[in-house]
Amino acid sequence: MLLQIADVSLTLRSSDGRCLPVLEQVSLDLDCGQCLGVAGESGSGKSVLALGLMGLLPRSSIAALEGTMIFQGRDLMRLAEAERRSLRGQALAMVFQEPMSAMNPLLTLEEQVGETVAAHVAGVSSSEIRRRVVQALKRSGFAEPERFLASYPHQLSGGMRQRAMLAMALVLEPQLIIADEPTTALDAALQVQLLKELRALVREQRHAMMFISHDLGVIRSIADRLAVMYAGVIVELGDVATVLERPAHPYTSALIRSMPRLVQERRLPQPIPGHLPHPDRKPAGCVFSDRCPRAQDLCRRERPSVSTLAGGQQVRCRFPEHD
Amino acid sequence: MTESNRAPILSVSGLCKRFPLERGLLRSLTDWWRGNEPESVEALSQVDLQVFPQETVGILGESGSGKSTLARVLMGLYAPDAGRATFLERDLFASDPLIRLQNLRQMQMVFQDPFGSLDPRMTVRALLEEPLRVHRTFPRREWADRLVRGLAEVGLEPEALDRYPAEFSGGQRQRIGICRALILDPSLLIADEAVSALDVSVQAQILELLFRLKSVRQLSLLFISHDVAVVRQLADRILVLYQGRLVESLPADCLLQDATHPYTRRLLGAALELREAGQAVPEAAGMAVKDDGCPCRSLCRAFQPVCERRPVLEELHPGHRVACWRPTSL
């Protein structure tokens, strides 16, 4: 197994000194050639999970940490900064959501993508950097990368910028790619195309990918497995088709009902009543109990543990649907 | 529900908007010296549209299709290059600033970006009072009451008044944006990608709010979006924009079965793939510099020599118009 996250609980300290439990007993694993989708609303903890994996959470903000994130035999959460730095870019890389803010407007495409190579490969020549940059851009879907090497981010279209972000992550061929909403800003046709390419890349080049999105439709078209997060907890985890067609957790089915659908009868998507709880005001029992239509007294008192259903999906609910 | 027997509240015809292409100083000067017309991009070309009372018209298109330009031209943020528009029996593009102000009181907009559209240095009270101050339609003593009622309508507490936009979540800010757009009791609301910056579950909440208010206040709605699924679920009629041109106009109920134009079908294909795991779609084409042919030549399988001329919107069935020379051969 390439990545094994076991029982990770993370508490962050906010700027005003409060302790915020942002992840609770998160367990996941991911192997090469696989794509794991992580779905959840903003504030569900999915981006914190990604930043934690990348080692991008400032040490000073971590108030408490339990559990392990074992990647290639090493615990990512407890690495020294120098070790982390050697892993980032080479072994694991991240594709960010907003290319306009994640790219440096003063660097050309070649400098932008080549920076990673120069920083991680000692004594690399500039012609070698260019060769690798061109190759990475090709693999990210640039038809003629040479034409755009000297372009600045603002001269590229939205789709190209997103591909450039992907190239920046791919240039050193990392085993694990973490993509945080990489296609949200794109038009549907472009999104479909980029998702297909990403999927092919994961399958053929045996990368492992963690694909974070709030859009279940996007996740369905790229991921093999799906983890649904709510308030820092993975509430459901399983095969993508199983989870989306036979959701076991009430939150998963509420999320599916809130999606606008194309082929069904015309009606408004159904909102989930209530709001996602703030990390320091989570319910004492199940995190979803204050919004759950089927919550009982027991749900409000105790956090449910993980149970595995017949279909193979894991769910954190005492009264799962489709029992 | 196309109400053909009632008069439209907004009627636009032949709307054109061009933007000059960015050129070097030398090139621009040579053009000027030689008397050449500066090169430009046609963001909107001969757009006709009508909105009937209490109707929801969905404008569908990808980025670069001209849908935001359309909203901005209607709101008076860009001056049109050609075309006429009548709104509530007044000229929408009147040069008289008083008439324009009157028009704007009846036509308000909900913006896409809940972060960029609210001034971070203004309290919610100041944000909501600004339209009242500009338009002076309601006496000062009614303001406080209007603000509180307006906030309640969008599901916010009166305490929100003295807080700043940064203290609210994206969904709450969009509620403030909707409240601000409705504070003058307009007749027509333009929503430009009003929910696309939000999470799916918040999106559903805001859509529900928007449509509840629409029916309570009997508003007409121009709902602009790139999301086929959202537009199909919400609109009564759908207009499809491609490279600044209307290529199809049809009732939302018929979208899935009857969409005829190759571009509409391509949008549907991509949306099906994303929402329901459907079939493949070809690569998108770029923005056209002035061009007299059918804008979809490059992606159409039924290409004919006649497509080198530009097709106009023609009625296929009652209520369904399409800009295509060979709609039946597709």
> Measuring CA to CA, which residue among A267, A313, A319, A268 is closest to residue A292?
A319
What does the pLDDT read at residue B329?
Answer: 59
pLDDT digits (tens, 9 = 90+) for A261-317: 887 777 778 888 888 888 888 999 999 999 999 899 999 999 999 999 987 899 999
What does the pLDDT read at residue B277?
Answer: 57
In angstroms, rounded to a whole number, what is the distance separating the alpha carbons of residues A72 and B289?
Answer: 52
Contacts of A216 in chain B (CB under 8 A): 200
Q: How far is A215 from chain B (nearest CA, A)?
A: 7
pLDDT digits (tens, 9 = 90+) for B160-201: 999 999 989 888 999 999 999 999 999 999 999 888 878 888
Provide φ and ψ at B135, rounded to 5°.
-90, -20
Q: Is the pLDDT assigned to residue A134 strictly greater than 80?
A: yes
What does the pLDDT read at residue B5?
Answer: 58
Cβ-defined contact of B204 to A271 (cutoff 8 Å) = yes
ipTM score of complex: 0.77
Q: Best residue in A38, A192, A291 to probe B by mutation, most B CBs within 10 Å?
A: A192
Q: How far is B141 from chain A (nearest CA, A)?
A: 34
What does the pLDDT read at residue B286?
Answer: 39
Cβ-defined contact of A188 to B234 (cutoff 8 Å) = no
B123: number of Cβ within 10 Å: 16
Q: How far is B318 from chain A (nearest CA, A)?
A: 21
CA dihedral B81→B84→B89→B91, nearest 10 degrees, is 30
Contacts of A267 in chain B (CB under 8 A): 233
Q: How far is A217 from chain B (nearest CA, A)?
A: 5
Q: What percent of chain B has pLDDT over 70?
A: 91
Average pLDDT over residues B267-284: 64
Written as six digits, the tokens of B7 are: 């008069």
Residues B304, B325: contact at Cβ < 8 Å? yes
Closest partner CB to A42 (pick from B62, B199, B270): B199
Average pLDDT over residues B123-149: 93
In the structure, how many helices (H) and strands (E) does chain B have?
A: 10, 12
Q: Is the pLDDT assigned to residue B91 strictly greater than 50?
A: yes
Strands (E), B75-127: 82-87, 90-91, 107-110
Cβ-defined contact of A215 to B252 (cutoff 8 Å) = no
Q: Is the pLDDT assigned to residue B266 strictly greater than 90?
A: no
Residues of chain B with a CB closer than 8 angstroms to some CB in chain A: 62-63, 170, 199-205, 207-208, 211, 226-230, 232-234, 252-253, 256, 266-277, 280-284
**Going by C-beta distance under 8 Å and a sequence separation of 6 or more, which residues neighbour residue B282?**
A189, B266, B299
Written as six digits, the tokens of B73 are: 């031209």
pLDDT digits (tens, 9 = 90+) for A37-62: 999 888 899 889 999 999 888 888 89
pLDDT digits (tens, 9 = 90+) for A224-240: 999 999 999 999 999 99
pLDDT digits (tens, 9 = 90+) for A82-125: 888 888 888 999 998 777 788 899 999 999 999 999 999 888 99
Q: For all residues of chain B together, what is the average pLDDT?
A: 86
Comparing A172-186, B9-23, B281-295, B306-320, the range with the smallest average pLDDT is B281-295
Q: Is the pLDDT assigned to residue B288 strictly greater than 70?
A: no
Report the length, in residues, of chain B: 330
Cβ-defined contact of A258 to B284 (cutoff 8 Å) = no
Average pLDDT over residues A155-176: 88
Q: How far is B47 from chain A (nearest CA, A)?
A: 22
In angstroms, rounded to a whole number, what is the distance separating the alpha carbons of residues B278 and B196?
Answer: 22
What does the pLDDT read at residue B310?
Answer: 76
**Cβ burial, residue B205 (10 Å; 0-12/13-18/19+):** buried
Cβ-defined contact of A263 to B272 (cutoff 8 Å) = yes
Residue A119 in contact with partner chain B when CB distance is under 8 A? no
Written as six digits, the tokens of B115 are: 């972060």
Written as six digits, the tokens of B215 are: 């029916």
Strands (E), chain A: 3-13, 19-30, 35-39, 62-71, 74-75, 92-95, 176-180, 208-213, 225-230, 233-239, 307-308, 314-315
Cβ-defined contact of B63 to A158 (cutoff 8 Å) = yes
Average pLDDT over residues A187-206: 85
pLDDT digits (tens, 9 = 90+) for B22-70: 777 888 788 888 887 777 888 899 999 999 999 999 999 888 888 889 9
Q: How far is B262 from chain A (nearest CA, A)?
A: 13
Residue A83 in contact with partner chain B when CB distance is under 8 A? no
Q: How far is B223 from chain A (nearest CA, A)?
A: 14
Residue of chain A whose Cα is closest to the Cα of B271: A188
B136: number of Cβ within 10 Å: 10
Cβ-defined contact of B204 to A192 (cutoff 8 Å) = no
Contacts of A41 in chain B (CB under 8 A): 199-202
Cβ-defined contact of A262 to B203 (cutoff 8 Å) = no
What does the pLDDT read at residue B3?
Answer: 46
Q: Is the pLDDT assigned to residue B264 strictly greater than 60?
A: yes
A290: number of Cβ within 10 Å: 17
Residues B47, B73: contact at Cβ < 8 Å? no
Q: Is the pLDDT assigned to residue B282 strictly greater than 70?
A: no
Q: Is the pLDDT assigned to residue B291 strictly greater than 70?
A: no
Q: How far is B89 from chain A (nearest CA, A)?
A: 32
pLDDT digits (tens, 9 = 90+) for B63-76: 888 888 999 999 99
Residues A160, A83: contact at Cβ < 8 Å? no
Average pLDDT over residues A128-151: 90
Cβ-defined contact of A188 to B270 (cutoff 8 Å) = yes
CB pairs under 8 A between A and B: 116
Cβ-defined contact of B199 to A187 (cutoff 8 Å) = no
Closest partner CB to A266 (pick from B207, B252, B281): B252
